Amino acid sequence: MKSPIFLDSRLIPASQAKLSAFNTAFLYGECLLEAIPVYNGRPLFLDDHLDRLKKGCRFLGWPFPARNRFQRAIRLFARHPQGPDHFIIRFGLVQEMDPPASPRQFPQKSPRLLAMIRPLRHRPEDPSPPSGRAGISVSKVPGPSAVPGQFKWIFYMMVRRDFRLHPEWDEMLRLNEKGFVVDGGSSAPLWAVNGKVYTPPLGEGGLESVTRRKILKLCRSLQIPVVQKSWKPSDVLKKGELLFVGSGIGILTVTHLMGKRLQRATPLALRLWQNYRALVLGKTSF
């Protein structure tokens, strides 16, 4: 299927989607992005994702589009006759400017809202979580005060460069200057060892992750201890299991890190996956 684009409250062919060349993303890299998984027409954690998007609009001084516009986009894609049952919808907000554009020009109108979909990297019907290989990014994560935690676009160039150089990677670890894990490439890393789940401390500069927050809540509800602790890739190579959690992958177990084999999926990972898939299939909530 050649997926259409959602623009101006309707689906149109991608070839007909048009934005002014005087837009903030093209000129200054100023835009907002949000990806939300949709299962059988039902968006997962919609309120949490839109709340994060609101923070970005507040930071940039943009009016936030009406909630029903996001809901309409989801409904239209879900009802598309050639659309998949499960997909991830990517929303984009960008401002169009009046020429001649200037770095000191700040539009106050509502931003343009675009959306497109792509297949998920997992199937909730599968009894086991997806697995893949991971690497380590050569680019260091900026300090926690460098950018607000809800922003994604500032890191995309570095992440895309790493994936371009390493197409064999399904995910990557991103480290700070001291070599501690801070974040992943497009999802959040977790280290599971001895029945506990270790997550990088929130204040180290990683981006906000809605799915990570929900998975950690699930861990606590299942009496799985969650520990915020700084850890390094060398710790993962010695013991335990490396997981990534995110909107597009759900839960990803890692078989190899920088080409070195890691421990296979543990009962803990399988337990998390079974509860997560029950949620997305509408059989439970957390």
pTM for the model: 0.89
Instruction: State residue 284's pLDDT score.
Output: 58
pLDDT given at position 57: 93
Contacts of 145 (CB under 8 A, 6+ apart): none
CATH code for the part of the protein at 5-118: 3.30.470.10
pLDDT reported for residue 153: 60
Residue 146 has pLDDT above 90, yes or no: no
State pLDDT tens for residues 5-27.
Answer: 999 899 999 999 999 999 999 99
Question: Taking a C-beta distance cutoff of 8 angstroms, is the pair 265, 253 a contact?
Answer: yes
Q: How far is residue 246's CA from residue 225's CA, in Å, rounded to a whole number?
A: 20
Residue with tokens 């399904």: 170
Question: How confident is the model over 205-222, as a mean pLDDT?
Answer: 90
Listed by start position, the domains of the chain span 5-118, 131-280
User: Which pLDDT score, from 0 to 100, does residue 147 have?
Assistant: 64
Mean pLDDT of 255-260: 95
pLDDT at 206: 81
- The average pLDDT across 74-89 equals 92
H/E run at residue 236: helix 233-238
Q: What is the structure's pLDDT at 150?
A: 61
SS3 state at 14: helix
pLDDT at residue 149 greater than cutoff 80: no
**144: pLDDT confidence band, cut at 50, 70 and 90?**
low
pLDDT of amino acid 50: 96
DSSP 80-142: -TT--SEEEEEEEEE-B-PSSP-TT----SPPEEEEEEE--SS-TTSSS--EEEEEE-SSPPP
Nearest-angstrom CA–CA distance, 181 and 165: 20
Helix (H, G, I), strand (E, B) or coil at 181: strand
Query: What is the reported pLDDT for 282?
Result: 77
CATH superfamily of 131-280: D-amino Acid Aminotransferase, subunit A, domain 2 (3.20.10.10)
Percent of the chain residues past pLDDT 90, beyond the cut: 69
